[in-house]
Structures are given as C-alpha cells and as structure tokens.
Chain A
Amino acid sequence: MEILTLKNQYNNSPAIAPVIDLYANLRTGNNPENNYYEMKNAGRNPGISKQKGRMVKGSLFPNPVKELSRDLKTFKKALKGQGTDYSIGKLNDLAIASGTGLIALTLSGVQKVPHARAMEFIGAGAWLASMHLWPKIFLAKPIKAATGVDLNLEYINAQGDKKPYWQDPQYIPMDLLDKQTLDKAADKLNVPKDMKDRDEETFRRMKKVATGTNTWWMLTAGFSTPIMASIIANKMERPAHYIIDNYNIIKAQAQLEAAGISTGPKNLLVKIGKKLIKLSNHFRPDKDQKALEKVLVTGNQEAIETFFSNKFKNTSLFHPVLNEIEDAFNEEKLPKIPERLTKAFDDANKLIEVDKAFNNYSAALSRRAGRLREYAATKTLTKLFTRKEIKEIPNSEKIAQRAIDIAEKEGKTENIIKMLEKIAKKPIEYATQVYDRLAELSGKMAERIETNPFGNSVTKKANELIQTAGYKLTGTEATFGRIPQLLRQAKDPAKHGVGDVINGFIQMDHAITHDSPILKKLAMMARSLVPHDVWNSLAKNPTDDTFYLNIDNAKEFLEGLFGKGKRAIGALLKFLPQNRKSKESMSKQVSDMIGETPADFLQKIAKEYNNSTNKWFTRVGVIGGGALLATSAAALYMIINNAKKPGKEGVKRV
C-alpha cells in the first residue's frame, strides 16, 4: 500500500520513480539486478534516463563562442572534481585551439613586418581549418555522394552529449537513422531489393564504409593537415598583403583627416578612424608643455637640443628646429631665448601630425603600388615563359622576342598586345593615381601651413615624396607600358624583324636622342650610375661604348659639360665613386633614392620566382598534395567497393 501511495505521489518525478520501482521489485521478489542500471542512471542523471537520442546535422566548424563558454563552465566544474568523460574530453579541443593561438601569438611576436606577423595567425587558422576540412569535405563529401553515408552526421544521446554518429562502430544507435536514408544508401551500396532484413544489411555496409573512411582519415591526417595548411597560407599571402596595405592607407588617411587635411571622398572607415584618433588625442595627457618649461628654465643649450631632437626625431622638422635653437642662442640674449623657443616649439608641434601623416600616406600608397608592380611582372613572366625559361633571368630582348614569336606563330599580334596592355594597366593606373593624389594633397597642405614658419620644410619634404612618386610612375610606365607600345608601333613585327623592335627599345631607353656628344655621354653616365635600361642592362656586361665615369676622366667630362671653373664640379666630384665596388653601392643608393629600377626589379622577381615559391609549391602543393589526393581517391574507391560485398559466410554475428 505504501509503495502505491509513494508511486502516486512521486510518479511525475522521473528521478524518484525508478527508485520506487526498485524497491517495489525487491518487495515482490523480482530480480533487482534487472533494474540496476536504471537506478544507476537515475542517480547519475536524474530525469533524463527516459529521454531518447536524436539526430542533428553536423556543422562544418564549431561555434567558437558556444564552445568556449561551455568549456569554461566544464573547467570550472573540473576544478571541483566534477565532470564526465564527454565534457572533460571536450576540453582537449579548447586546448588545441588556444594552444595554436598562443603559438601564433608567440611566433608573430618575433616577426619584424606586419605582413609576416599576420601570416603567423593566418597559418594557425589554416592549420585548424585544415584539421576540419580534410575529413569533413575531402573525405566526407565524395563518400556521401557515392554511398549515401553522411560522415558529418551527429547525434545527441540520452545524456545530452553531442557525438559524431559514426564515431564508435560498436555503439551506433541505428534506430536514429530514418528509412529514407537507409533506402538511399541501400541502392547506392547494391543491397539486393528483395533481401530479408534489408535495413540491417544496409546498416552493416554503411558501417563498413564509415569505419574504413575514419581509418583512412587517421592515416592521412598527418599529411593532409600540414600540406593543406601550407597551401592555404601560401594562397593567402596576396590577400593578406592587400588587407594590410589597405589598412595602412586608411589609417594614414584618417591621420591626415584628423590633422585637418581633407583627402577627398570619405570612406566610412576613414571617418571612424578620424574620430578615434581625435578621441585618443583628446585624452592624451599633455606632458610636453611642462617638460619644455623645465628644460628651458635650465638654459642649457645641449639639454634643450636633446629635448627637441627627441620630440622631432624622424620628421622633416628635425633639422629646422635644431637650426632655430642654434640661431636663438646666437642671436638673442638669455631672457628672450625661452620665449622664442616656446614659440618655435608650438609652431613645430602643430606641424608634426601633418608631417607624419603625409609621410605615412605616401609610404602606404607606394607600398601598394610596388606590390601591384610585382604582381604585374610575375604575370608578364609567367604568361610569356615556361618555368624552366624563367630560370635564366629574361631580359627585354628575350621578352620582345618571345612576344613576337608567339604573335608570329599564332598570328595573334593584337591579342598579345592586348594581354600585355591589360597587365600593364593596373600598376600604371595606380602609380598615376598615387602621383596625382600626393600632388593634390600637398597643394592643400601647403595652403594650410603657409603661415607657419616651419611650413616650408614640411612642404619641401612632401615635394620630395611627390618627385619620388613621379620617378616610380615613369619607371612603371617604362617597365610595363613599353613592350606593348613598341609592338604596336612595329605594326608588322614579322616584316620589321626582331632587330627593329629591339633597336626601338634601346632608343627609347636612352630617352635622349640629341646629337650632342656630351649629352649622349651624360645619358650613358646616368645609365652606368642607375641602370635605367628597362630590361637590358641587367644581363649585359659593360661594353666599349658604355661610358663609365671614373676619377680620372670625371673632371675633364664635367668641365666639358658645365664649363671650366664652375663650383658645381667640385661638389659633384665628391660624390664620384672611387672603384667599381663602391660604384655599385652608389648605384644601389641612387636606386633606393629614386625607387627600384626596372632592371633590379625584374631580377628580384625572377629570382624569387625561381628560388622559393615556385619550387616550394611544386614540391608541397603539386607533389605532396597530388599524392595525397591520388592515394585518397584510390583508398576511398577500395573502401566503397569493399563495402558493397555481401558479408562473409561462416561468420556468425551475435
């Protein structure tokens, strides 16, 4: 009687019902062993022992926020010693993800340029992604298409744990598979239609497929993860460059805007950046003024100079400010010096932001322009030459020859020209844009800072930057625009012959077609100093007609150029390199000053192409990745075929 009352009382509580059942059984003499597990479950997970498992669709990537919050809760419980096999096992995923993140952070810490820093994180992300993508796409998708077995399937069991459905071949809840899936798989796995227990046989074959593929996954994961991660990271290099360049451009633009110089049509990101910079400026404590007062009180010229040079280091205000200090100490008497220097500091301080922002903007734009030049050069080389041919660094003669060859062979001169023009378009357009933008901005800037006594030095620096951008524009046009241009001029290259085209190159290259021997020599000198020849000078050794200036003939030459007894000659002679080696380094310095020369540039691109990426990609991407895909295809084919066989006779199943 009591039991019945109790049962009625607690029947709605699933936690207690099994306990009452147990004692009821004890009382009536039923074997309590039968209910042992039920009771155990009731104690362990009250309330859900009667819940059924259910199928869920597996996701490609786990939701990081959800996973993280769950894992943190699990860990908090684990600190008290509470947890289950499932929940504690999940902590491993968290450890792998955060460990990979920490590794990326550490490695990025020692990288020197932003791109390399970003690539460490991209590499780590690619690693984690490859771990998921290989089984979930490369193995699971073909298997699903061929057999109807969805390896990405997951189920939630009675305890509420989410598990891969095909994970443990000994414990797969077959009842969760619906009839439709089974029938579909049965057809694909060649299970006879009239078979007795057709579903069981289908399930057996599906399990075979799943076990085989899971095993193949484990055998290949050691290869697939690093190889895929390397390939992904390799392919992400360009986008990463693009994003970082854009970030720098936007940042510099926002700095300019914050300094009060409009950069044209406003991007939303630029607006936000401007607000942020202004906000941070607002909250930055103004320590300078007090420090300045402290230094000025001492009246020590050296200390004042150190203070100013620390403040204006790396700006174009550095020298003018130091000059001003020297002048002040020379011209004024003590009581007036602090006053004058305070004013100088204020004036210069107003310009510091503008100056830095303009420099950054120019640097960011030219970096992007340089990148576009690189891509265009690689494209030109790869479109016209095979990999083997690029090994011998091509020069313009070869490039022209090849372009003409292809045009002759296929009779498609126009196509070749169009292709080369298309490649040339992007870098040239961008270089033009950079030049125009900088020129426009510097005009605006000059207007704003006209009245400032230090305005001149900032404008001067800006003009230098614009000049460099101009050089780069000319260089880019020369590098990429010239070949299609020449091909267009020589309307029938086959008739004119290669020689004409090449001659055209050299003529164009000299740029100066004046008859004056002195000017001709000057052009040659310029070439020897800065190999501005588009593609040629690289491979050529100096020939007799190349005029190299040396200390012996220089004076004579310069006197011929400027006239005897001019002051400039002495100054120029100082810069003349003494020997061949220093001439080269001088040439390099000048190259750096006006930007990379096309010849250097081509050499660099071809070398890079030959040395690293290409070989690397052949080995890792083509050979490694290819072998992986080929063996996987073979293995999956065998697994599927093996599963289609009927079960062995003589083996009884329990």
Chain B
Amino acid sequence: MLKNTGFYPVKINESCPAFGNQDELLPNDRITKVKTGVKQASKLPKYAVEGLKGNEDANFFEFLQLGKIPYWVGGLVLVGCFAAGGKSSIPLAKQKAAGVLLYYLAAMAAKALINKPVKFFKGVDLNRKYDDHVSLQQRDEKGESLKKTELHNLYESIDFTRWDLLYKNQQAHAASNPGLVNEEYEDILLKMGLDKNLNDPDSTVKPYVSKIIVASRAWKSLLSVPLAGLAIGLSTWDGWQDWGDGFKNNRKNAFKGIKAFNNNIIKPYITQPLARSFAHLWKGNGFNNKIAKKFGGKALILAPLAATAWANLNILRITYLKEDKYIDANKTGNKNNLIKRTFNAWKS
C-alpha cells in the first residue's frame, strides 16, 4: 500500500483509493484506549475461527493476539490444578491464586513503571495506538481488496517505526499551514528540553525515540523478572490461605456506603492482606534458610525498586539531548562521510 512517507503536506483526495484508507493515529485519551482495546479483544474469537480454518489472510499479528488466551487461561488452569486435589487442597489453591493474581499485577506494573516515566520526562507515549487498515488478498465483487482493521502500538517496532503517522500532513489544518506538520515531533522535542523552533525537529527526535523504544522494551522484559519474584514472594504469606473467608457475610453489608465498602471489601481482602504479606516478606519469617531469612525477603522487595530506578535512569541518560550532540554532523559516523565523499566525487 502506498503511504505518504514524506513530511510535506498532501492534499486529501477522496477519489484516490491510495489515501482513502490511511492508517490513523488514535486520539490519546483513556476512553478511546479502553474502547479500542475492548474492540480489539472482541475480535479474538474471529481470529481463532479464521486461524483454525487456515484463512489465507490470517497473519502474525492475529497469532500474537491469540497469545493473550494462554497467558490468562494458564494462570486460571494452574490454580485449578492445585484445587483439583479436593477440599483439603482449597487453602493451598487460594494461596496459589493470590500468587497468580499478584503475578499478573506485577507484569502490568513492569510495563507501567517504564511507560509512565518515559511519557512524563520524554513526552513519548509508548502506549499510543493506531488503527492499521490491512488490505486483504480477498476481493469483493468489484475486484477491490477487502480491508480489516488492527489495533497496533505506534512505537511497537524498532525496525519499522511508523514515523509517518506522527506527521500531520493528512490533516486539514496542517494542509493549510505547513508549519504544523511537525507538531507532534515538536512536542516531544520540547519535553526533551530543546527549543521547538528547530529546522528539522523530526529528524532530531527520531534517533532518540528509537533509543527509547529499544531500551524500554528491553527493560520491560527484564523488569518482569524481579517483579515476578516479588509477587510470588508476597504469595508465600500463609494468610492467603484464608483469603476470601467470610466474604458472603461481608458482601451483605458492603454496599451501604463508601465507608462500609471500604471496611467490608477493600480492607479485609485487598489492603490488609497485601500489607501483611509485605511485612511478612520483609521480615523473612517464611524462609527456612538462615541467609534467606536475613536477606531474602528484603532482596525480593528492593530488587524491583532498584531495577526500576536503574531502568529509568538508563533511559534518561541515553536520551539526554544536548545541543552539541546533534549539530556536529561529522561525528555521526563514517557512513555519512563516505556518502559525502561519493557525492563530492560525483559533483566534480
């Protein structure tokens, strides 16, 4: 599909099919994100059916989307396997369920602990979405290819980042005022601490955003390790075995106001167990090894904090923008010099 990869504004031509189904960047508010996320998730059954049929338009994106099923089902079935031993195994299964839930929370935290600071300090919203309109091999009666829409992350790819979507060249107000084409890049530039009145904010920003994408993805993977350790460490508190006891009674009184809800649901089932399991882990009472008793729990709690701090400092450091860092073209490597030389040779 032809895409406008230039940074000059293009007139929108309704009759031209090439631009009729542009991929579109989605508004950056929470409601849209939830809405589109639900819409994307609701497509899973369709992906499954089409995939099983071996539809020729099934693609890797759909396969990866289906990967969410084992991720969520696996935890549930694991708890089920523990609960299958009969009544006597229910307390242990409860503890495992707490562990699985905490693990999911940890996995989410691993993403948020990188995404939020990056958005705050660098203005790059790694969670930004766009609708990808994919042309299918199947054709309609007129012979035109059918389309389907996929919800992608704008910064999901390192090799093929969709820089084009950040240019505002397809929007009406930019078409009338070419100066606004680089609006998005200028915003990032401002956040990164430079004056926005640069000649080429986009090419200044791109290498740094690329670095952010690489480092953030690597760190998100790595952060999930200590966070998983913390989650499971918290689940070793034996109090989880009584988790949910008395819920039936508490539920009756829970909906008589915010305070009642807090006292009957939030406190006994969420905050209190969490606080107690934290304290238990910090003291290291659950461990049987002398060294683990002394350091194990503290290490499990401090490691994710340290890793998060390191990750964010690292990302800030490698994307630190100084004026003398990008103005000197000679420092950017031999490749450019070679092109220059080639060009000079050609000119002469």
What is the interface of chain A, defined by CB distance below 8 A to chain B? Answer: 2-3, 6, 16, 19-20, 23, 27, 43, 74-75, 78-85, 88, 91-92, 94-95, 98-99, 102-103, 105-107, 109-112, 167-171, 204, 207-212, 214-216, 218-223, 225-227, 230, 611-612, 615-616, 619-620, 624, 635, 638-639, 642-643, 651-654
Which interface residue of A91, A106, A169, A209 has the most chain B CB atoms within 10 A? A106
Q: Is the interface of B mostly helix, strand, loop or mixed?
A: helix
Tell me which residues across on chain B come within 8 A of A88, comparing CB atoms: 158, 214, 217-218, 221
* Closest chain A CB from B42 CB (angstroms): 16
- Asked if B262 CB lies within 8 Å of chain A CBs, one says no
- CB under 8 Å from chain A, chain B span 210-226: 210-212, 214-215, 217-219, 221-222, 224-226
Q: A43-B335, A79-B314, A112-B288 are in contact. Are A99 and B72 (CB under 8 A)?
A: no
Among B52, B58, B71, B342, point to the contact of A23 (Cβ < 8 A): B342
Query: Are B143 and A652 within 8 A (Cβ)?
Result: yes
Whole-angstrom distance between the alpha carbons of A211 and B51 in the complex?
6
Closest 5 CB pairs of A and B: A222-B73, A81-B211, A215-B51, A208-B54, A78-B218
- Mark interface residues in B311-343 (1 if CB within 8 Å of A CB, else 0): 000100011000000000000000100110011
Is B78 close to A, CB under 8 A? yes
Report the minimal beta-carbon distance from A214 to chain B, rounded to whole angstroms. Answer: 6
B226 touches A82 (CB 8 A): no
Does residue B271 face the partner (Cβ distance < 8 Å to A)? no
Contact of A653 among B60, B137, B159 (CB under 8 A): B137
Partner of B85, one of A168, A226, A227, A612: A612
Query: Which chain B residues in 32-74 approach chain A with CB under 8 Å?
Result: 47-48, 51-56, 58-60, 63, 66-67, 69-74
Pick from A81, A92, A615, A639: contact of B52, CB below 8 A: A639
Output the least CB separation between B149 and chain A (Å): 16
What are 21 A-to-B residue pairs whose CB atoms are below 8 Å?
A2-B345, A23-B343, A43-B335, A81-B211, A81-B214, A88-B214, A91-B218, A95-B221, A102-B226, A102-B229, A168-B60, A204-B56, A215-B48, A215-B51, A221-B74, A222-B70, A226-B80, A611-B86, A615-B85, A616-B86, A616-B89
Minimum CB distance partner of B310 in chain A:
A79
A19 to B343 Cα, complex, angstroms:
10
- Contact in complex: B215, A79 (CB < 8 Å): yes
B228 contacts A99, C-beta separation under 8 Å: yes
Q: Are A81 and B319 in contact (CB under 8 A)?
A: yes
Q: Smallest Cβ distance from B130 to chain A, in angstroms?
A: 17
Contact of B138 with A2 in the complex, beta carbons under 8 Å:
no
Asked whether, in the complex, the Cβ of B86 is within 8 Å of the Cβ of A612, the reply is yes
Q: How many A-B residue pairs have CB under 8 A?
A: 210
Q: Which one of B55, B88, B319, B342 has the highest number of Cβ atoms from chain A below 10 Å of its Cβ?
A: B342
Given A103-B232, A215-B52, A215-B58, residue A83 in contact with residue B63 (CB < 8 A): no
Contact across chains for A652 and B139 when beta carbons are under 8 A apart:
yes
Task: Note all chain B residues with C-beta closer than 8 A to A105.
Answer: 229
A-B contacts besides A106-B300, A639-B52, 16 pairs, CB < 8 Å = A2-B348, A23-B343, A75-B222, A91-B218, A103-B229, A109-B286, A109-B296, A169-B60, A171-B60, A215-B47, A215-B58, A222-B71, A222-B72, A223-B73, A225-B77, A612-B86
Q: Are B77 and A109 in contact (CB under 8 A)?
A: no
> Residue among B85, B314, B348 with the most chain A CB within 10 A?
B85
Complex Cα gap A616–B86 (Å) = 7
Q: Which residues of B contact A171 (CB under 8 A)?
A: 60
Q: Are A170 and B59 in contact (CB under 8 A)?
A: yes
For B74, what are the chain A residues with a Cβ–Cβ distance below 8 Å? 221-223, 225-226
Nearest A-chain residue to B209, judged by Cβ: A81
- With both chains docked as a complex, state the minimum distance between the C-beta of B199 and any C-beta of chain A, in angstroms: 22
A85 touches B157 (CB 8 A): yes
Inside 8 A of A220's CB, which chain B residues have their CB? 70
Q: Cβ of A81 and Cβ of B221 under 8 Å apart?
A: no
Q: How far does the alpha carbon of A47 sit from the alpha carbon of B348 in the complex, in Å? A: 28
B289: chain A residues at CB < 8 Å are 109
Q: In the complex, A171→B60 CA distance in Å? A: 9
Residues of chain B within 8 A (CB-CB) of A211 are 51, 54-55, 58
**Contact status B232-A107, CB under 8 Å:** yes
Name the residue on B nearest A100 (C-beta). Answer: B228
Q: B292 in the interface, Cβ–Cβ < 8 Å?
A: yes
